């Protein structure tokens, strides 16, 4: 029995068989191993994406907290940037006292970019209430000031003489020059 097939069909059959063998070998030798590697990398990517999302959420949460703290403590942040000026201090707070004298005891040095001064203050007031008003005013003032104890009150005729020391935390003067040079 003789099969009568045209030559074109035979060529087409041979090409089809070769193509089928090529596709089968390609899929078993290349695609299937790459698919396993792809699944492994996809799993790693999902874990990394989950970690990234967690860190982004944490970052946003901390950023919101930072913004709220900056708004809430804006006055304190500005006070840390202010340089202490004794003359300005006297002019600003002289209204609370009959007389106010400030004498610098010592500059305690610069710590972490801030200069710390200890100031001895002698004043005369008409009542302790004005002294407490003064304390409220420096609490809302332009500088970070801590009033040290003891606070000595001495009565002299109609006035009360007070003497106390204040510790003033002020930005170091040369740090501003460094900032300007950096810009």
State the CB neighbour count (10 A cutoff) for residue 144: 18
> pLDDT, tens digit, for every residue of 113-140?
555 665 556 666 666 777 778 788 877 7
Which stretch of 4-8, 15-19, 112-116, 177-181 has the lowest confidence by average pLDDT?
Answer: 177-181
Return the domain boundaries, the chain. 1-72, 83-180
* Residue 168 buriedness (CB in 10 A; 0-12 / 13-18 / 19+): buried
> Which CATH number does the domain 83-180 belong to among 2.60.120.10, 3.40.50.360, 3.30.70.60, 3.10.105.10?
3.30.70.60
Task: Write down the pLDDT at residue 160.
Answer: 74
């Amino acid at each position: 029995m003789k099969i009568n097939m045209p030559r074109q069909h035979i060529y087409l059959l041979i090409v089809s068989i070769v193509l089928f063998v090529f596709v089968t070998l390609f899929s078993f030798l290349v695609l299937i191993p790459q698919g396993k590697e792809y699944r492994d990398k996809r799993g790693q990517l999902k874990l990394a994406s989950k970690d990234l999302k967690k860190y982004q959420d944490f970052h946003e949460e901390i950023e919101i907290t930072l913004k709220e703290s900056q708004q809430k403590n804006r006055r304190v942040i500005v006070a840390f940037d202010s340089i202490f000026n004794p003359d300005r201090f006297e002019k600003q707070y002289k209204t609370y006292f009959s007389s106010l004298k400030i004498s610098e005891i010592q500059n305690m040095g610069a710590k972490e970019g801030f200069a710390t001064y200890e100031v001895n203050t002698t004043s005369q007031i008409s009542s302790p209430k004005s002294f407490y008003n003064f304390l409220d005013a420096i609490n809302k003032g332009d500088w970070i000031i801590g009033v040290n104890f003891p606070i000595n009150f001495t009565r002299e005729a109609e006035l009360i003489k007070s003497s106390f020391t204040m510790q003033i935390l002020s930005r170091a003067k040369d740090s501003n020059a460094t900032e300007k040079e950096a810009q």
